[in-house]
Amino acid sequence: MAYRAALGDIRFILDHVVPLAPIAATERFAEATPDLAEAILTEAAKLCDTVMAPLRRAGDQTPARLENGVVRSTPGFAEAFRQIAGGGWIGVSAPSAHGGMGLPQVLNMAVHDMMSGACLALELNPLLTQGQIEALEHHASDEIKALYLPKLISGEWSGTMNLTEPQAGSDVGALRARAEPSGDGTYAVSGQKIFISWGDCDMTENVCHLVLARLPGAAAGTRGISLFLVPKFIPDGNGKPGVRNGVNVVSLEHKLGLHGSPTCVMDYDRATGWLVGEEHKGMAAMFTMMNNARLAVGVQGVGVAEAACQAAVGYASDRRQMGAIIEHPDVRRMLATMRAEVFAARAIALACAAATDMATATGEADWQARAALLTPIAKAYGTDVGCDVASMAMQVHGGMGYIEETGVAQFWRDVRVTSIYEGTNGIQAMDLVGRKMMDGGEAAFRLLEEIEAGAETARATLPDLAGAVWSAAETLREGTEAMVARAMPDRFAGAAPYLGAFARVLGAHCHLRAALAEGGQGPRTALARVHIERILPHYAACLAEAREGAGGLFALSPEVLAS
């Protein structure tokens, strides 16, 4: 079964569940008309189905390689990238002043959903460039913007972000990379960075790195970190790639999956860099890129889950074993669960993107808080769904799922990293109950009020489903009140199950809206029943675990855990 972009679901969500219309009604995004949105989605789907999807297996079987200090990409990737860049897909949401389309993030994320399902390894390259575009747009000098943004948006140059070091993973404040002023407005950047996706490539003229480093005399921890733009080739007076900079790829990581996407160990040896933003305020600038990437990584999980689900349905429809296995109750249970989870995770991710767009268009604090609240949920839930659905797809295939020739195992190997990078899902959960609830939970309570109001509206048409969603939202409200009142470490110990509960309730709300949009009868309603009757009840177990906090966890000594 060949991959097909999920146009039907995406259109339905943007029409009925997370409407694009209110975004297009703002002055900022007035150009996002229904006709333009349809054209964007349709053309992106064609690109994904015909150009990118055929390269998924190639990226796995013929990985990127390091040759004489240069990364050589999978055969076919460069040609496909030229079509991505030439079609303007890197600039979907980029500023029009520098050559972008200036369209809403919700459309951009829908495109990345399709691209991720088609070929995640290749999709990562334009995704990272988009994150750098956003960081430079908000924090770089006018001179840097004028030179770099048009090149990045056009796809002539690509972008990366460099945070992690061997001794400093999630603890970014422990980094040792340093930058020394050169006296001419530039800085000499030195240090080593690891886990740098697409840290080099032969698909673009230049690779531009955003690098976190510490200036002389800077404070310890994250407060003393600055951000620098370090290109592979230093631009000459005409803005063309000039002399080679002091940045090199030391090696490529040997990974479980995503073989077509090179993950580099980078060495900076007094490489020329330019300060982005203010001195010692690098984390604020980098977080602009990271927040963009966190939502996009959640979307990556959704995209791969979609592809895995399609593969499982195709296999189950064709496989004969006491009849077509798609008629076996347990196989049907898995397929229905997969499809319901994908719809919920997709709707949540697009809701997060829509909140970001409304915050951009209106500047209203409530929309900003909504986007901030949904980001860790969209990232963690989307990637958990990606991993779980890919695993279930292997299970549907039975023994053939464990055999590499079928290709289904690649979905799991590729998507597994998404729950780790851009902040592990445990960190996302702690962010949700920590920073995102510094308002006393007000943003969460406003969202829960909307969920309850939606359930009340649905009672006349779907009383049983509406009642279940309303009750779950009310119980989650009580759980949120308890979470806000908790002290550390209990709050963090219960964070992951709490996020899981919130995601299931929010997913049920999206399914209920979908069922209501078709009048309570039809395939969306049947799918909503699967989610609300079979998946939503898990929220209660999640809240029960969250209520336990750290209780009992530290009673187990490291010696007992190791025994």
* pLDDT tens readout for residues 26-79: 999 999 999 999 999 999 999 999 999 999 999 999 999 999 999 999 999 999
- Token reading at 110: 């829908």
**Is residue 29 domain-resident?**
no
CA pseudo-torsion sign 458, 464, 465, 470:
positive
- Is 116 in contact with 300 (CB distance < 8 Å)? yes
Q: Which residues are catalytic?
A: 422
Residue linked to tokens 């990737």: 77
Task: Provide the β-strand partners of residue 273.
Answer: 187
- Is 224 domain-assigned? yes
Domain-embedded: residue 120: no
Average pLDDT of 425-433? 97
The predicted pLDDT at position 170 comes to: 66
> Of 209-218, 313-322, 447-456, which range is least confident?
313-322
What per-residue confidence (pLDDT) applies to 1?
63
Q: Assign 324 to helix, strand or coil.
A: strand
**Is 136 domain-assigned?**
no
Q: What is the mean pLDDT of the chain?
A: 96
Domain endpoint, select from 220, 255, 280: 280
Which of 231, 247, 280 is at the close of a domain? 280
- Judge whether 298 and 349 are in contact, CB under 8 Å: yes
CATH of the domain at 172: 2.40.110.20
How buried is 523 (Cβ within 10 angstroms: 0-12 exposed, 13-18 middle, 19+ buried)?
Answer: exposed
Last-in-domain residue among 280, 309, 332: 280
Query: Domain total for the chain?
Result: 2
Which residues constitute the domain of residue 437? 426-551
Question: Among 259, 49, 64, 291, which residue's Cα sits nearest to residue 161?
Answer: 291
Which H or E run contains 518? none
Structure tokens at 90: 């890197």
pLDDT digits (tens, 9 = 90+) for 119-155: 999 999 999 999 999 999 999 999 999 999 999 999 9
Ranking 154-158, 281-285, 302-306, 364-368 by mean pLDDT, the lowest is 281-285
Instruction: Catalogue the long-range contacts made by 312-318 (C-beta closer than 8 Å, 24 or more residues apart).
Output: 312/338, 312/392, 312/393, 312/396, 312/397, 312/408, 313/1, 314/1, 315/1, 315/396, 315/397, 315/400, 315/406, 315/408, 316/396, 317/1
Strand partners, 168: 165
214: in domain: yes
Question: How is residue 21 written in tokens?
Answer: 């219309």
In this prediction, residue 409 has a pLDDT band, given cuts at 50, 70 and 90, of very high
Q: Rounded to whole angstroms, how far apart are CA atoms 522 and 518?
A: 7
Residue 23 has pLDDT above 90, yes or no: yes
* pLDDT tens by residue, 250-270: 999 999 999 999 999 999 999
The per-residue pLDDT for 108 is 98
Calculate mean pLDDT across residues 274-290: 87
pTM: 0.97
**What is the model's pLDDT at position 167?**
78
Per-residue CA distances from 184 to 180, 212, 273, 446 (Å): 11, 20, 11, 51
Tens digit of pLDDT for each residue in 61-75? 999 999 999 999 999
| Ranges 324-328, 355-359, 395-399, 425-429: which has the least confidence | 324-328
CATH number of the domain at 528, please: 1.20.120
Q: pLDDT class for 290, splitting at 50, 70, 90?
A: confident
Is residue 328 domain-resident? no
d(CA 298, CA 94) in angstroms, rounded, equals 20
pLDDT value at 402 more than 90: yes
Could you say which DSSP state residue 55 is in? G
Distant-in-sequence, close-in-space partners of 89: CB < 8 Å, separation ≥ 6: 44, 47, 111, 115, 126
Could you tell me the pLDDT band of residue 169, with boundaries at 50, 70 and 90?
low
pLDDT computed for residue 431 by the predictor: 96
CA 168 from centroid of its chain's CA atoms: 22
Task: Please tell me the predicted confidence (pLDDT) of residue 174.
Answer: 78
Where does the pLDDT of residue 287 fall: very low under 50, low under 70, confident under 90, or very high at 90 and above? confident
Task: Indicate if the pLDDT at residue 561 is higher than 70.
Answer: yes
Q: What DSSP string runs through 408-453?
A: HHHHHHHHGGGGTSSS-HHHHHHHHHTGGGTTTTHHHHHHHHHHHH
Is residue 27 packed enough to be buried (19+ CB in 10 Å), middle (13-18) or exposed (0-12)?
exposed
67 within domain boundaries:
no
Confidence at 198, pLDDT banded by 50, 70, 90? very high
The three-point CA angle 451-452-456 to 5° equals 120
d(CA 275, CA 279): 7
Q: What is the pLDDT of residues 518-547, one digit of tens each?
A: 999 999 999 999 999 999 999 999 999 999
